[in-house]
């Protein structure tokens, strides 16, 4: 197992120095699921606050751009692309976010932040209908580029 890079020899938290790393193209995809009742799903197109899925897409993109403001030791990255795809399914809505950069460090946190904030936005826009809505299964699906190489989550 690798050691945690966000701690110095004394165990104090620190930002990782990536200045010696080469800039490479890096991508990441993340997943979240918002479980909701069939009644809430059926009400999505008629939400008085607007289109919850459309608003969630924009919220996810904006969140990815603000990741370094939210996660204390994240580097600020020049994002080349962020996309948030939201699909309604019988049990809820599935969110897949994608982030791309050419930088000295990975873009996983941006993809995870996008998926998470999109899920929170769906909850916020539908909570008046049912407080039992659940945000589930937030995880990294895959990442490419960088020293550690590619990663692809095994299907469950």
Q: What is the CA radius of gyration of the chain?
A: 17
User: How far apart, in whole angstroms, are the C-alpha atoms of residue 78 and residue 62?
Assistant: 13
Instruction: Please state, in angstroms and rounded to a whole number, the distance separating the CA atoms of residues 20 and 138.
Output: 31
Question: Cα(124)–Cα(23) distance, rounded to whole angstroms?
Answer: 37
SS3 87: strand
Can you tell me the distance from the alpha carbon of 70 to that of 42, in angstroms, rounded to the nearest whole number? 33
**Catalytic positions:** 124
Task: Give the distance between the most distant pair of CA atoms in the chain.
Answer: 55
């Amino acid at each position: 197992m690798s050691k945690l890079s966000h701690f110095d020899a004394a165990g104090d938290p620190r930002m990782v120095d990536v200045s010696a790393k080469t800039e490479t193209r890096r991508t990441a995809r993340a997943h979240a699921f918002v479980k909701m009742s069939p009644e809430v799903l059926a009400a999505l197109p008629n939400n008085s606050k607007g289109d919850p899925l459309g608003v969630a897409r924009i919220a996810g993109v904006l969140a990815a751009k603000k990741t370094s403001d939210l996660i204390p030791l994240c580097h600020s990255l020049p994002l080349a692309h962020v996309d948030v795809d939201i699909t309604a399914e019988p049990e809820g809505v599935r969110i897949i976010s994608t982030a791309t950069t050419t930088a000295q460090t990975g873009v996983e946190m941006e993809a995870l932040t996008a998926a998470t904030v999109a899920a929170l936005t769906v909850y916020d826009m539908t909570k008046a209908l049912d407080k039992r809505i659940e945000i589930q299964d937030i995880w990294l699906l895959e990442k490419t580029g960088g020293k550690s190489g590619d990663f692809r989550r095994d299907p469950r």
